[in-house]
């Protein structure tokens, strides 16, 4: 009877948090859906094969002598005929202050300062370098990739310059006539090769059927991160600063095991309800959501329900891991801090924030055995309509291990470990 | 003087109280350990995009030179993996090990000549992607640059041949000599990359795996102060502050949250130091001190508005979502300026980006302090 009463008591405590967790799930899911929808509206409809429109253009700025005829010509070419127009958007600025303001506000990934003598130095082969400015130290991925590509742009121009100056040297040395015409012709030739540089390669797109798409990948991250956030919300009810009640319960035939089971069930219920809400929202708005998550295209509501059932071990695993962290702590400061450090640390190395392919092999291997690594892998598999039952078994076993550890810790604490 | 002694006495008492908690000590130790592990891991071979490279003719001299150039480039944020067999390279894309594969065609040198002559049907490389995103397109620019290097001489020599120049001294060898001479004399660097506000710092010193560390540690500090305020409110509810008059409790809250903030900022600083993530030690210490005050005043303000620790706890995930998504930790988000400027982490990150943002951060801190005092008095009066 005491066990049932304690279970009731635990559920009573979770009532208030439950409402807030549902509101939080609703607000965050709606906000995310609105942001994604807006982005897609701006960049075009997504298709079944690719999530390309989701990845917007990279914006860079140009400061300096933008009225120069050569720069004007280059800009027109970049904006209209060059292949970079698909992924690069160039904005011109009158002053560096304006460009730096936009850089700091995150409007642009970087800006190029073209000094007064830049064009004449290029025309004479002296090449006084222009400056490309990116944000200080805190680099995001786009900036890093732009930084990598900047040097390749330099290579294209310099290689063409070499050909043009070599031609001029030969005309001068051998006193050949028609140097001016030849110069114009070779310039035009190099420009045409640069503009059509994508002709050098043949593109084969495999499609994303066997692997999860970019949007699908981040949908999986969202599920895991949402569960973590809801778990963090429960710090106040999960942390036990004193063991007085636990000791009393223990003396009234409610052992550490039943205490932990009752507390875990009530905690799991919060996570489960948030998860049910998330899936109900997905179910209701399935036609709209499937327009930007390619994996959900052609998925029936029944298939979605089956996916939901198969995702339950993920909820169980994340809940048990977070509950274990709470059991370790005896006050709210370290509980929330440890929850953040451990959960976010694990989410980071498991690929929930940056794709797992970004990490070194050692971390990839290590994260595949971590609780959130397993949970994330299972989510990704289900997104691709594939279910690895060994992962489900692994997740359930790990959850049991976490709960057992919680029981062990509670027993130790009741026995005076915390005193 | 009496007030100062009172503050120091209580500050030390709170520090002692926190340091006696095993779980708090565990967390303090865990932060530098995890930071060090992350820093060590970031030194392993990795890239923001993995590219599989292979050739249908692995004996080709041009391919070998391109390959050695690519593999020796340790500045790149792209990770290149060489495959002997083009099929394996393609499979690596199919099974998600690589984002794209660059497979160089056989008879590469002749294909370059043909392409330079204008025969665009003879492509030089097959690019295999799972989905063609802005990232794979940007990475492809690197490939174009490598291929362009191979054809630029052919474009030049074929142009010269087409001019029909009647001079017996001119041959392909002469063209090659002149071309190579010009190349050696030319400054090959047309664009310098600089960090905003720090021209001396090299772009090589940053790593995408460690660059969010400062931001994440800042979030940890905010969470620590936030939970300390929750703890303090709980203490007040339990009557532990009953010996202090109501007007003095704000300073007690401040001392408790400040003690937690100071301890964690020491742990954060130790983490940054041992993981070599500090550019300027003095500047970093000053900014951490300023950030500690920002966090303390911000959390006290939220505490005053929420009034109970359970309400604060419920708001915590929303705060973390806002901080992680809106502050430049993993990515720079446009818009939401009205929300951004309310967050202490945003001001801290801005001061790390540019020293001139300190003024904004100081004004923000002053406003928070003012709001804390005014609101606390107003609520108490009510």
A20-70: pLDDT as tens digits: 888 888 888 888 877 776 666 555 444 434 433 344 567 788 887 777 777
| Distance from the Cα of residue A348 to its chain's centroid | 10
B331 contacts in chain A (CB < 8 Å)? 106, 140-142
A145 contacts in chain B (CB < 8 Å)? 48-49, 77, 135, 138-139
pLDDT at A290: 78
Would you list the DSSP string of B184-220?
A: HHS----EEEEETTBTTS-GGG--TTTTTHHHHHHHH
Establish if B122 touches chain A: CB-CB under 8 angstroms: no
Residues A229, B320: C-beta atoms closer than 8 Å: yes
For β-strands B100-104 and B125-129, DSSP reports them as antiparallel
B135 token code pair = 């990232």
Q: What is the pLDDT of residues A289-316, one digit of tens each?
A: 877 777 887 788 888 889 899 999 999 9
Do the beta carbons of residue A63 and residue A111 sit within 8 Å? yes
Give the bridge partners for A349, in sequence order. none
Residues A131, B169: C-beta atoms closer than 8 Å: no
Establish if A177 touches chain B: CB-CB under 8 angstroms: no
pLDDT at A41: 58
Q: In sequence order, what are the residues at sequence separation of 6 or more whose Cβ sits closer than 8 angstroms to the Cβ of residue A54?
A: A36, A39, A40, A43, A46, A214, A215, A292
CA distance to A145, A283, B283, B287, per residue, from B39 (Å): 21, 42, 21, 22
Establish if A27 touches chain B: CB-CB under 8 angstroms: yes
pLDDT at A71: 75
Q: How far is B373 from chain A (nearest CA, A)?
A: 24
Q: How far is A95 from chain B (nearest CA, A)?
A: 15
Site from B37, B105, B125, B130 to mutate, A interface, most A CB atoms within 10 angstroms: B130
Average pLDDT, chain A: 81
Establish if A181 touches chain B: CB-CB under 8 angstroms: no
Q: Is the pLDDT of residue A8 over 80?
A: yes
A413 token code pair = 């604490």
State how far the Cα of B13 lies from the Cα of B7, in Å rounded to an integer: 10
Coil, strand or helix: which one is A384?
coil
State how far the Cα of B364 lies from the Cα of B351, in Å rounded to an integer: 12
Residues A214, B24: C-beta atoms closer than 8 Å: no
Over range A357-364, report the average pLDDT: 81
A contact residues 95-124, partner B, Cβ 8 Å cutoff:
100, 103-107, 112, 122
Would you list the DSSP string of A183-241?
A: HHHHHHHHHHHHHTGGGGEEEEE--SSSS--HHHHHHHHHHHHHHHHHHHHTHHHH--S
Q: How far is B1 from chain A (nearest CA, A)?
A: 31
Establish if B332 touches chain A: CB-CB under 8 angstroms: yes
Q: In sequence order, what are the residues at sequence separation of 6 or more whose Cβ sits closer than 8 angstroms to the Cβ of residue A331?
A: A239, A241, B21, B23, B24, B231
A333 token code pair = 């400061």
Q: How far is A319 from chain B (nearest CA, A)?
A: 16
> pLDDT over 70 for what percent of chain B?
94
Walk across the sheet containing B100-104 and list its strands. A201-205, B125-129, B100-104, B49-55, B78-82
B94 contacts in chain A (CB < 8 Å)? 206, 210-211
Residue that is written with structure tokens 């695993």 in the block: A317
Q: Is the pLDDT of residue B332 over 90?
A: no
Residues A363, B309: C-beta atoms closer than 8 Å: no
> How many Cβ contacts (< 8 angstroms) between chains A and B?
419
> pLDDT over 70 for what percent of chain A?
89
Do the beta carbons of residue A270 and residue A18 sit within 8 Å? yes
Q: What is the pLDDT of residues A141-169, one digit of tens each?
A: 666 667 677 777 777 888 888 888 888 88
CA distance to A35, A36, A321, per residue, from A31 (Å): 6, 9, 27
| Residue whose C-alpha is closest to residue B193's, from A62, A75, A113, A78 | A113
Give the bridge partners for B50, in sequence order. B79
State how far the Cα of B289 lies from the Cα of B275, in Å rounded to an integer: 20
Q: Which of B186, B196, B349 sits opposite A134 (nearest CB)?
A: B196
CA distance to A283, A332, A341, B90, B352, per residue, from B343 (Å): 35, 22, 20, 46, 15
Q: What is the torsional sign of CA B18, B19, B22, B26?
A: positive
Which chain A residue's Cα is nearest to B137? A87
Q: In sequence order, what are the residues at sequence separation of 6 or more whose Cβ sits closer than 8 angstroms to the Cβ of residue B359?
A: none
| Residue whose C-alpha is closest to residue B269's, from B329, B219, B225, B214 | B214
Q: Which of A122, A162, A342 sits opposite B179 (nearest CB)?
A: A162
Establish if B306 touches chain A: CB-CB under 8 angstroms: no
Residue that is written with structure tokens 């329900």 in the block: A305
State how far the Cα of B107 lies from the Cα of B52, in Å rounded to an integer: 20
Q: What is the pLDDT of residues A222-250, one digit of tens each?
A: 899 999 989 988 888 888 878 888 888 88
Residues B99, A357: C-beta atoms closer than 8 Å: yes
A contact residues 333-352, partner B, Cβ 8 Å cutoff:
333-338, 340-342, 344-345, 348-349
Q: How far is A185 from chain B (nearest CA, A)?
A: 9
Helices marked H in chain B = 2-19, 22-42, 61-71, 86-94, 108-116, 134-162, 172-185, 213-237, 249-274, 281-306, 309-326, 337-340, 344-353, 358-381
Over range B257-275, report the average pLDDT: 90
Confidence of residue A140 (pLDDT cuts 50, 70, 90): low
Residue A418 gets which letter from DSSP? Answer: T
Contacts of residues A23-31 at CB distance under 8 Å and 24 or more positions apart, as own/partner, are A24/A229, A24/A230, A24/A233, A24/A274, A24/B314, A24/B317, A24/B318, A25/A226, A25/A230, A25/A274, A25/A277, A25/A278, A26/A277, A26/A281, A27/B318, A28/A226, A28/A229, A28/B318, A28/B321, A29/A226, A29/A277, A29/A278, A29/A281, A30/A281
State how far the Cα of A171 lies from the Cα of A271, in Å rounded to an integer: 78
Q: How many CB atoms lie within 10 A of CB B44?
A: 12
Residues A211, B130: C-beta atoms closer than 8 Å: yes
State how far the Cα of A14 lies from the Cα of A6, in Å rounded to an integer: 12
Which chain B residue's Cα is nearest to A147? B193
A364 contacts in chain B (CB < 8 Å)? none
If you count them, how many residues does chain A have? Answer: 419
B23 token code pair = 């779980």
Q: What is the pLDDT of residues A310-327, one digit of tens each?
A: 999 999 999 999 999 999
| Residue whose C-alpha is closest to residue A207's, from B250, B110, B129 | B129
């Amino acid at each position: 009877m005491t066990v049932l009463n304690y279970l009731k008591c635990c559920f009573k405590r979770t009532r208030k948090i439950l409402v807030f967790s549902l509101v939080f799930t609703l607000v965050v899911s709606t906000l995310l859906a609105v942001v994604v929808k807006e982005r897609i509206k701006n960049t075009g409809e997504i298709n079944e094969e690719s999530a390309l429109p989701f990845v917007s253009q990279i914006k860079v700025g140009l400061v300096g002598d933008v009225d120069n005829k050569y720069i004007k010509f280059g800009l027109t070419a970049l904006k209209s005929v060059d292949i970079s127009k698909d992924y690069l958007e160039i904005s011109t600025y009158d002053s560096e202050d304006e460009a730096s303001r936009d850089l700091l506000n995150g409007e642009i990934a970087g800006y190029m300062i073209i000094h007064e003598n830049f064009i004449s130095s290029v025309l004479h082969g002296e090449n006084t370098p222009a400056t490309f400015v990116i944000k200080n130290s805190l680099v995001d991925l786009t900036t890093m990739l732009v930084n990598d590509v900047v040097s390749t742009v330099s290579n294209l121009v310099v290689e063409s310059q070499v050909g043009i100056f070599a031609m001029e040297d030969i005309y001068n040395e051998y006193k050949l006539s028609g140097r001016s015409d030849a110069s114009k012709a070779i310039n035009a030739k190099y420009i045409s090769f640069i503009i059509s540089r994508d002709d050098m390669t043949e593109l084969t797109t495999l499609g994303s059927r066997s692997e999860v798409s970019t949007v699908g990948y981040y949908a999986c991250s969202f599920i895991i991160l949402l569960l973590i956030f809801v778990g963090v919300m429960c710090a106040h009810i999960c942390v036990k600063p004193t063991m007085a009640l636990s000791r009393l319960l223990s003396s009234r035939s409610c052992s550490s095991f039943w205490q932990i089971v009752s507390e875990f069930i009530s905690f799991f219920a919060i996570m489960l309800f948030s998860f049910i809400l998330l899936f109900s929202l997905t179910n209701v708005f399935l036609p709209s959501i499937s327009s930007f998550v390619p994996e959900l295209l052609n998925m029936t509501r029944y298939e979605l329900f089956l996916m939901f059932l198969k995702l339950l071990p993920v909820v169980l695993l994340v809940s048990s891991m977070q509950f274990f962290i709470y059991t370790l702590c005896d006050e709210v400061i370290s509980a929330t801090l440890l929850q953040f450090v451990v959960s976010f640390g694990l989410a980071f190395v498991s690929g929930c924030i940056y794709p797992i392919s970004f990490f070194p092999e050692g971390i990839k291997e290590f994260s595949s055995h971590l609780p959130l690594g397993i949970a994330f892998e299972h989510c990704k598999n289900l997104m691709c309509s594939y279910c690895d039952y060994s992962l489900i078994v692994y997740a359930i076993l790990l959850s049991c291990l976490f709960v057992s550890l919680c029981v062990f810790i509670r027993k130790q604490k009741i026995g005076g470990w915390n005193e | 003087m009496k007030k100062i002694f009172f503050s120091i006495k209580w500050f030390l008492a709170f520090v002692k109280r926190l340091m006696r908690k095993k779980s708090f000590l565990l967390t303090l130790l865990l932060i530098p350990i995890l930071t060090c592990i992350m820093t060590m891991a970031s030194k392993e071979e990795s890239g923001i995009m993995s590219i599989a490279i292979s050739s249908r003719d692995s004996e080709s001299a041009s391919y070998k030179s391109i390959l050695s150039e690519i593999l020796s480039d340790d500045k790149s944020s792209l990770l290149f993996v060489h495959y002997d067999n083009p099929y394996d390279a393609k499979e690596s894309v199919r099974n998600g090990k690589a984002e794209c594969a660059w497979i160089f065609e056989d008879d590469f040198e002749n294909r370059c000549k043909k392409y330079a002559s204008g025969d665009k049907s003879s492509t030089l490389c097959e690019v295999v992607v799972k989905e063609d995103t802005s990232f794979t397109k940007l990475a492809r620019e690197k490939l174009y640059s490598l291929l362009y290097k191979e054809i630029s001489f052919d474009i030049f020599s074929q142009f010269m041949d087409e001019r029909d120049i009647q001079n017996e001294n001119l041959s392909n060898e002469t063209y090659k000599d002149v071309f190579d001479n010009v190349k050696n004399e030319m400054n090959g660097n047309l664009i310098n990359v600089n960090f905003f506000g720090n021209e001396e710092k090299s772009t090589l010193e940053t790593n995408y795996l460690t660059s969010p560390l400062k931001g994440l540690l800042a979030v940890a500090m905010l969470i620590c102060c936030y939970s300390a305020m929750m703890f303090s409110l709980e203490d007040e509810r339990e009557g532990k502050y009953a010996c202090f008059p109501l007007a003095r409790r704000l300073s007690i809250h401040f001392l408790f949250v400040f003690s937690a903030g100071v301890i964690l900022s020491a742990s954060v600083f130790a983490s940054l130091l041992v993981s070599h993530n500090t550019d300027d030690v003095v500047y970093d210490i000053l900014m951490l001190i300023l950030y500690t005050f920002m966090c303390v005043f911000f959390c006290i303000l939220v505490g005053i508005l929420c009034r109970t620790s359970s309400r604060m706890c419920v708001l915590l995930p929303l705060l973390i979502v806002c901080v992680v998504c809106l502050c430049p930790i993993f990515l720079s988000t446009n818009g939401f300026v009205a929300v951004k400027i309310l967050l202490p982490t945003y001001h801290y990150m801005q001061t790390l980006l540019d020293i001139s943002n300190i003024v904004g951060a100081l004004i923000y801190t002053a406003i928070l302090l003012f709001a804390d005092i005014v609101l606390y008095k107003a609520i108490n009066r009510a």
